[in-house]
Structure 1
Amino acid sequence: MTTYDADKAVAENEPPHGAETPAGGEGPITEKHPSQRAYHHPAAGWGAAKSVTHVLLREHTLIDGPRAIFKMNHESGGFDCPGCAWPDDTKGLKLDICENGIKHVTWEMTPKRAGRELFAAHSVSELATWTDFALEDTGRLTEPLVYNEETDHYEPITWKAAFELVGSELRALADPNEAAFYTSGRLGNEATFLYQLMAREYGTNNLPDCSNMCHEASGRALQASLGTGKGTADLADWESADALFIMGVNAASNAPRMLTALAEAYRRGAQIVHVNPLIEAAATRTIVPHEFVDMALFKSTRTSTLNLQVRAGGDMALLRGMAKAVIEESASDPKALDREFIDRHTQGFEEYRALCEATPWQELERQSGLTRADILKAADVYSRSDRTLISWCLGVSQHEHGVDTVREIVNLLLLRGNLGREGAGPSPVRGHSNVQGNRTCGIDHRPTPEFLDRLADVCGIDPPRAHGLDTVGVVEGMHRGTVKVFVAMGGNFAMAAPDTTYTAEGLRRCELTVQVSTKLNRSHVIHGRKALILPCLGRTEKDHQRRGPQATSVEDSMSMVHLSLGMK
């Protein structure tokens, strides 16, 4: 039996890796304090509209901003929001937008520029004292920059010289595995494919990415359980499910457009169960901005029918308890289990039944932080539903036992045949807008032999076969001196990787760090002995090529691939 000892997980109040202070390059601690007021308003609604207006004014995007709002997430000639990976509405919704998405877009479309004058006026040591907000608020990067160790300033460099510097450093390495190529989920599919092809033609599978730090557990678990690393539900399934279990995610912050699906589900009478240590805004009620009548009347819609406040990390025990309850119910009600589905499409049911039966309720209560009555409420919702969908985010996957928890989600769904049919299935909520597309197009430090065989056949290269390093392996390699060149295609590695202090120390030990970015961030001021900043276009911008405007493709959380065409 795989369970989680919550007592063992009580954090020790010690700085990582022996640091005397928790600060490791993450910038100064500001004097601002978070509000202690409880949030009583419905999610989205007029509060979001007011916040968006403030952002449009602050970023001076009163013309381009509203134009972008009507282009975001539109399949025909529109661009994919650079925010979350929630899928586009299938019914042609004109305003398939959210507060977070508009903020992402206006932040990218700002007229502010971080040009050579900025870097001439401020040393890297000085920039390192700025807050993360202040760094990015300088605006869009305009030209390639190289770090001058003698002056402690970034200085302009030509593209040709920048490429030659990268090439000479890579050629000087004794082994291709001394280089690592990191990827953010903001990348489009075409750039992703070329990036992994470059790394593998160079000779390494060191392709860490942001999913190593978020949904890697989901991919591993789903692959082991179902043979695919992706969820099986799409937006149409969300629209027809009888019960929705939302685990470890506050949609109002992480996937705000989910609020539309939750409001619609509540109106049609579906059961909506939120599992989270906190009852957050998305688990209460919402006013969906594109529902104009509700906006005008200040009419909110509930987004939950049951909230279960598990102990942090207690999701695994809750799921096991629900499965135990369903199996116990099957003793008196044969319809509690879908035996035909289990017999035809699953393996190991009897072993799993014995495991559930042997798990004591007292232990499930202790580890979940819920009472037996609470667990039975959730199990009753599941048993009464003909079509159940379970969705989750980082609150489930970012635990030591994240893989086991996601596998338990699949186990629970299999008990009643909630797989491969309408309105049912596992549905992970990815964070970055194209993190799933990155993995589909080859960003994987553990590539399958089949993928490498096909890559060799189509592209005429001999790709390396040994597994590469993930994010943690790369940081450890930096400390050992076995990773000497680090290239980041987007993202903010210094702040995204676990253990900020240790990561910053590793980056500073590299011979060369290369950051391909749209804006200045913490990773530009925590760098190797040599460092480059290379600017690039953003998702919202037109990419003019010889044959005309260039579109890119992206893949959303529910495996839909579509074109994205910038408009600025």
Structure 2
Amino acid sequence: MASKPPSGDPVQDAPQVAAPRHSAAGLPAVAHSLRVAQQQMGVTRAARTLLKVNQKDGFDCPGCAWPEGDHRHTAEFCENGAKAVAEEATLRRVTPDFFAAHPVADLATRSGYWLGQQGRVTRPMLLERGAGGSDGGDRYEPVGWERAFAIIAEELRALDSPDEALFYTSGRTSNEAAFLLQLFAREFGTNNLPDCSNMCHESSGSALAETLGVGKGSVSLEDLHRADLIIVAGQNPGTNHPRMLSALEKAKSAGAKIISVNPLPEAGLERFKNPQTPQGMVKGAALADLFLQIRIGGDQALFRLLNKLILDAAKADPAVVDEAFVAEHTHGFEEFAAATRAADWDETLTATGLERDDIERALAMVLASKRTIVCWAMGLTQHKHSVATIREVVNFLLLRGNIGRPGAGVCPVRGHSNVQGDRTMGIFERPAPAFLDALDREFGITSPRHHGYDVVRAIRALRDGDAKVFFAMGGNFVSASPDTEVTEAAMRTARLTVHVSTKLNRSHAVTGARALILPTLGRTDKDVQAGGRQIVTVEDSMGMVHASRGNLAPASPHLLSEPAIVARLARAVLGPESPTPWEEFEKDYASIRDRISRVVPGFEDFNARVAEPGGFRLPHAPRDERRFPTATGKANFTAAPVEYPELPAGRLLLQTLRSHDQYNTTIYGLDDRYRGIKGGRRVVLVNADDARELGLADGSYTDLVGEWRDGVERRARGFRVVHYPTARGCAAAYYPETNVLVPLDSTADTSNTPASKSVVVRFEQR
């Protein structure tokens, strides 16, 4: 039998700390996966559900966006995927009785872990005059769907401008639902479509669109298997994308070398114990051939120096640089080369904290490789100079012709399972004119052409009274966003906040004057509409589009699917004058895909192609044709000045990160097995030498106080100090607890992504 949810929040005052692990997965991962699945689903339901995860006739894992190969294991999921599925397919239910027993003020005191453990929301719920209002009820009450849509329509129609509405999208949203949401928003009259990409990988899209012409990765899973060298920078696959470890293991067995570039040692990149094989379970495979323990924010300087050393090596051996590729396919080489030759060893060693010998070892591996891939995640994307850093990575690959070559390319590893697909479907506050032109031709509407708000600008708009209605398709906006106190205060100014959700989270307790929770089907649920059983589609991190089919009875008869919610909302708001056939879209999602096929390039014959087992790959001009749709018509070298954080005395640079028991802001448990943390999340990892210099004893408690140019004190209270082998000058702590320290206006140049990986902090002991 599945266990009941916890009645009270667990105490986290004294987390236990042990030495960090040096391997990932193996028997402990299997045991933990099965234990969590049994607790949430029960034995029979767990088996029936987990065997359908990431299968060609099953459903896409609601966790990460790592791709599947053509040949799949019976258990095609990782530990964190099992946790994600278990939380969605749970037998636990949040009914109206729960809300009657828990006022919003009570929910606001609960941890994200406790809220998520309560189970699936079963009915639409309304808070009239809630935490942001001046009178009325103090708790959510059940409401009918028709009334819920009427309330949203009433508030949207009362706005002075469509741009006073915000339509946020989480990466879990399907292609079909995302396409409908952006269509509705634009027919309503706004491009205010902030999404989770704004907070995570916007820097990747900005840099890649400028340099290569396509804001996505250029490699396939097969390319990883064929690479000679894979550089994994600013990424922890063992916790955040565990199935990536299998791909790295396969590449390693084929002869690839792997370099890990990270301020923290990561267990999965040290040794991977593959639970799919007997030998992997027992012994495992060492993955990283070289660990470059870089200081936070030093990656641009590292790649700039490597580029200089490549140019130097080409003096003796011109074949080191792919001169034919550079001459035929690139622009801006001379300016890049001049800036690169000025790179300085001493400055690089200061910026990176690395030893000269380590960089020279990395260079030797680079020069020995004919096919190189660079993978990265938020460790590169969430700094002020993130876009410049990723441009430098592109420079590094262009020099040796490693774009458009099998086994080589750029590999930004996306997080949520359809975050890339949502952007492809038009969830973007700065849409391309060609996309809007195609949308308008297809539907007979006139989309707005002015740019909308991204996440940071959306929070400012709420704060300043320029936005009044907030609608979220999934996610946990309040916890995911920076500058927590500012974000929460901004949300409370709204006239209406709406969250399309499967489960509870912190955002449901931080409301506008009115608030709605609209419960929706999950990936694991069967979706049956008037036109029969439906599928939805997703796009993985490498541009493969495939179908997803839930196999469980819905958690409640009162749930609607995400496409149905958008379609009914659009009918309520736009009325019968809308030229869009919303009823048809709700009845049969194939009709949505027919329209997508005529609007979005690469989706021609969408329904026929997605019916093929495994789906289809989207075109990628740099990879497929070595064609670069940039302003110059070529791949662009760039020459930005090298930047890296400089610390005042007595301060450290903090990066926010996930524990092993969470996915994004969803907290599955209170342990971080690979880092040796058990029973608590308010810990700060500090290099032992730095800690001694700062007088921070292991096991002592401290407040983290953020320092930024605005002079505002941002404080995260009561963190246990853990002496940990991180890079000197650096510290790390879990989000969302430390998002309070990230200033709203501290963002990456160009992309406006919050700089959550480089927060200057001081310590005030308790």
TM-score scaled by structure 1? Answer: 0.93
Whether contact under 8 Å (1:238, 1:423) holds in the other structure is yes
Tell me how far 1:30 sits from its aligned partner: 4.8
Give the structure 2 partner of residue 268 of structure 1. 254
Alpha-carbon distance in structure 1 between the residues aligned to 2:360 and 2:480: 38
Q: Structure 1 85/35 Cα, relative in aligned 2: closer, same or farther at 3 Å?
A: farther
Alignment of 1:10-21 (within 5 A): none
1:363 is the counterpart of 2:347: yes
2:207 equivalent among 206, 221, 233: 221
Aligned to 1:140: 120
Alignment correspondent of 1:62: 43
Shift of 1:29: 10
| 1:43 and 2:24 aligned | yes
546-555 vs 36-45, which deviates more? 36-45
CA displacement 1:458-503 (0-9 Å, x = unmatched): 1111000000000000100111101100000000000001111110
Aligned 8 A contact 1:445 1:470 in 2:
yes
* Alignment deviations for residues 257-309 of structure 1 (CA, whole Å, 9 cap, x no partner): 001011122222210000000111122001111113432xx121111111000
Conservation of the 8 A alpha-carbon contact between 2:22 and 2:268: no
Residues 562/41 of structure 1: CA separation in 2 closer, same or farther (3 Å cut): same
Deviation per CA, 1:121-179: give whole Å up to 9, x if none: 11110111111111111110011110033230100111000000000100000000000
Identify the residue that residue 723 of structure 2 maps to in structure 1: none
Q: Report how far residue 41 of structure 1 moved.
A: 4.8
1:13 matched to which residue of 2? none
SS at match of 1:59: helix
- Matches of 1:294 and 1:528, distance apart in 2: 51
Q: CA deviation at 1:69?
A: 2.1
1:362-401 equivalent positions in 2, closer than 5 A: 362-401=346-385
Shift of 1:335: 1.3
Choose the corresponding residue for 1:88, options 53, 65, 68: 68
Note if contact 2:229-2:371 (Cα within 8 Å) is conserved in structure 1: yes
**Equivalent-residue separation in structure 2 for 1:34 and 1:395 (angstroms):** 26
User: Bigger shift: 124-133 or 432-441?
Assistant: 124-133
In the alignment, structure 2 segments of 5+ residues that lack a partner are 1-7, 130-135, 553-766
- Cα distance between partner residues in 1 of 2:409 and 2:276: 28
Quote the Cα distance in structure 1 between the aligned partners of 2:345 and 2:279. 48
Q: Which residue of 2 aligns with 1:5?
A: none
CA contact under 8 A between 1:243 and 1:272: conserved in structure 2? yes
Taking a change above 3 Å as real, the CA distance of residues 389 and 35 of structure 1, as seen in their structure-2 partners, is farther
Aligned counterpart in structure 2 of residue 109 of structure 1, from 75, 89, 112: 89
1:28·1:129 contact (CA, 8 Å) conserved in 2?
Answer: no
User: Are residue 446 (structure 1) and residue 430 (structure 2) matched?
Assistant: yes
Does 2:509 align with 1:509? no
| Amino acid in structure 1 at the alignment position of 2:457 | G
Is 2:443 aligned against 1:456? no
1:343 matched to which residue of 2?
327
- Cα separation, 2, equivalents of 1:456 and 1:29: 52
Equivalent-residue separation in structure 2 for 1:292 and 1:567 (angstroms)? 30
What code does the residue aligned with 2:187 have? E
Q: Within 5 Å, give how 1:522-537 maps onto structure 2.
A: 522-537=506-521
Which residue identity lines up with residue 98 of structure 1 in the other structure? Answer: C
CA distance in 2, matches of 1:368, 1:276: 10
More divergent stretch after superposition (382-391 vs 57-66): 57-66
Note if contact 2:226-2:254 (Cα within 8 Å) is conserved in structure 1: no
Q: Which amino acid aligns with 2:209?
A: Q
Q: Deviations over 1:404-450 (max 9, x none)?
A: 11111111000000010110000100000000000000000000111
State the Cα distance separating 1:62 from its structure 2 match. 1.3
Which amino acid in 2 is paired with 1:204? T
Structure 1 residue aligned with 2:267: 281
How far residue 389 of structure 1 moved from its aligned partner, in angstroms, is 0.5
For 1:123, the aligned partner's letter is P
Equivalents in 2 of 1:29, 1:109: separation in Å?
23
CA distance in 2, matches of 1:294, 1:507: 48
After TM superposition, give the deviation of residue 364 of structure 1 in Å: 1.2
Aligned match of 1:197: 183
Q: SS in structure 2 opposite 1:533?
A: strand
Q: Does the 8 A contact of 2:272 with 2:280 survive in 1? A: no
Give the aligned partner of residue 22 of structure 1.
none
CA shift for structure 1 position 96: 2.0
User: Structure 2: how far apart are the matches of 1:351 and 1:34?
Assistant: 53
- Deviation sequence 1:68-96 (CA, Å, 0-9, x none): 22211112x11100000000122233322
**1:33, CA displacement in angstroms?**
4.3
Contact 1:365 1:372 in 2 (8 A): yes
Structure-2 separation of matches of 1:286 and 1:244: 16
Q: Which residue does 1:243 correspond to in 2?
A: 229
Q: Deviations over 1:341-383 (max 9, x none)?
A: 1001001111111111112111111111112322222121111
> 1:337·1:415 contact (CA, 8 Å) conserved in 2?
yes
Q: Hey, what's the Cα distance between the residues in 2 that align with 1:139 and 1:359?
A: 54
CA distance in 1, matches of 2:425, 2:165: 20
Is 1:558 the counterpart of 2:538? The answer is no
Which of 378, 385, 389 is the equivalent residue of 1:405?
Answer: 389
Hey, what does 1:162 align to over in structure 2? 148
For residue 32 of structure 1, report the CA deviation from its aligned partner: 4.1
Is the Cα contact below 8 Å between 1:139 and 1:519 reproduced in 2? yes
Q: After the TM superposition, which residues 412-451 of structure 1 pair with which residues of structure 2 at under 5 Å, given as runs? A: 412-451=396-435
Summarize the Cα distance change of 1:34–1:303 in structure 2 as closer, same or farther, 3 Å threshold.
Answer: farther
SS in 2 for 1:136: helix
**1:19 corresponding residue in structure 2:** none
Whole-angstrom CA distance in 1 between matches of 2:307 and 2:15 = 39
1:229 and 1:30 mapped to 2: Cα distance? 44
Q: CA deviation at 1:554?
A: 0.1
Given residue 453 of structure 1, which amino acid in structure 2 is its aligned partner?
Answer: D
The code of the aligned residue for 2:229 comes to: A
User: Does 2:284 align with 1:300?
Assistant: yes
Secondary structure of the residue aligned to 1:352 is helix
Q: Secondary structure at the match of 1:331?
A: helix
1:322 has 2:322 as partner? no
- Is 1:180 the counterpart of 2:160 in the alignment? no
What amino acid does structure 1 have at the position aligned with 2:111? T
**What is the number of equivalent residue pairs in this alignment?**
539
Matched AA of 1:187:
T
Contact 1:266 1:304 in 2 (8 A): no
Secondary structure at the residue paired with 2:306?
A: helix
- Equivalents in 2 of 1:34, 1:274: separation in Å? 29
Distance 1:35 1:405 in 2: 37
Compute the displacement of 1:28 (Å): 9.0
Please say if 1:208 is aligned against 2:208. no
The structure, 1 or 2, with the larger RCO (C-alpha pairs under 8 Å, 6+ apart) is: 1
Structure 2 vs 1, CA of residues 30 and 500 (structure 1 numbering), >3 Å: closer, same or farther? farther
- Which amino acid in structure 2 is aligned with residue 477 of structure 1? A
CA distance in 2, matches of 1:53, 1:146: 36
For 2:482, the equivalent position in structure 1 comes to: 498
Contact kept, 8 Å, 2:305 with 2:344, in 1: the verdict is no
Partner of 1:72: 53
> Are the counterparts in 2 of residues 277 and 309 from structure 1 also a CA contact under 8 Å?
yes
Match for residue 549 of structure 1?
533
Change (3 A) 1:454 1:60: closer
Alpha-carbon shift at residue 120 of structure 1 (Å) = 0.9
Counterparts of 1:384 and 1:396, CA distance in 2: 25
| Partner SS, residue 48 of structure 1 | helix
